[in-house]
Amino acid sequence: MKKYITKTILFFLPLSICISGVIITYLALDPFRVLWTYDFSKNLHTIAAINRDFQTTEFFVQKYPQYHYNSFIFGSSRTIAFLPEHWKKYLPDNSSIFHFDASVESIYGIYTKLEYLEDHNIPIKNALIILCRDCSFVPDQQKGHLFIKHPLTSGENTRDFQFAFFKVFLDPRFLKNYIEYSITKTYKPYMQNYILDPNNIVKIDSITNTIYALDEEQRIAENMEKYYKNDKLRLTEHCETEQIDSISHIDAKQEEALQKIVQILERNKTNYRVVISPLWEQIKCNDNDMKILRKHFGENLYDFSGKNKYTAPKSNYYEWSHYRPFVGDSIMSKIYSNK
């Protein structure tokens, strides 16, 4: 029996050491910045791409006691076009703005953030909600470590949330890219979903949590013609006729979330606007989806999808997905000029 036990221990010992080493390495590196406490108001140096929803929520929890935010911008990364310093022109002087965005933000994500604010008795005086035809109406809890929601707002199990990141750390594809970049310090396009591109310089405002695409703006300022000749921007030529999305994306569950969003805004007497993004694709929102959105948001809804002055010139965009701040400023001047 002793020999059997000894052989068993010796057999599993290398495996145990290996597993322990992986766990210790993960705890020490914390590549996704989800294990320990960080000051997300600073531009942290990270190799791995991190979860913006987690970053944003942690930022809010850390900074709210100091800044007492009462005005919020909700939506995906396309909210970079709506800068607080521009929005503030249309708000009361006592407005304290926070950019409560997330990567590929959904209706579900916006609803859970609003619910979190209300549950914690945080005033929601003003809200600017940015919706997008192609990403706002996706399943509730999205898959992928870059898109899952912070347990504080989603109510999901913290253990499951953390395990999702640990699984990615064990993924050979992540390890390959992480190790390769750590050694070579050279970014390759195939690293996109795992490693941050060091060539894209962004600044995160230490108060509002706003992302500024400084690098892109500088490249455009230096040589606009050269910038927009880049095929990687995927700014393909437009169709002559306007296309309308043939697929209805809002199902019963998502409509319920829309209804709850409106209920929270009305209970808090929030001054709010809902904007449908002007995307380069120039595809108009589905008619049925628009009926549902108008039913809930009424005169607070502003649709800029399809063909219009914002979606025509390439110079309004960084690439096929994100439009620039002067576009957001123009939209805000329009939606706040009259109700």
Joined together, the tokens standing for residue 64 give 């709210």
Least confident interval from 32-41, 68-77, 110-119, 139-148? 139-148
Residue bearing the bigger pLDDT, 26 or 201: 26
What burial letters (b/e) apply to 90-110, b meaning 16+ CB within 10 Å? bbeeebbbbbbbbbbbbbbbb
State the pLDDT confidence band at 263, using cuts at 50, 70 and 90: very high
Joined together, the tokens standing for residue 76 give 């995906």
Rounded CA separation 139/137 (Å): 7
Cβ burial, residue 137 (10 Å; 0-12/13-18/19+): buried
pTM for the complete prediction? 0.91
- Give residue 5's pLDDT: 53
Q: What is the dihedral of CA 259, 264, 270, 274, to 10 degrees?
A: -30
Nearest CA among 201, 159, 196, 149 for reference residue 174? 196
Segments making up each domain of the chain, as ranges: 50-140+202-335
Joined together, the tokens standing for residue 294 give 């108008």
Chain segment 101-126, per-residue pLDDT in tens: 999 999 999 999 999 999 999 999 99
State the pLDDT confidence band at 12, using cuts at 50, 70 and 90: very low
What is the arithmetic mean of pLDDT over 57-77? 97
What is the architecture of the domain spanning 50-140+202-335?
A: 3-Layer(aba) Sandwich (3.40)
Question: What is the average pLDDT score of the chain?
Answer: 90
Nearest CA among 128, 187, 143 for reference residue 51? 143
Neighbours of 187 (CB within 10 A): 18
State the pLDDT confidence band at 200, using cuts at 50, 70 and 90: confident
Give percent above pLDDT 70 in the chain. Answer: 92
Look at residue 62 and tell me whether its pLDDT is greater than 50: yes
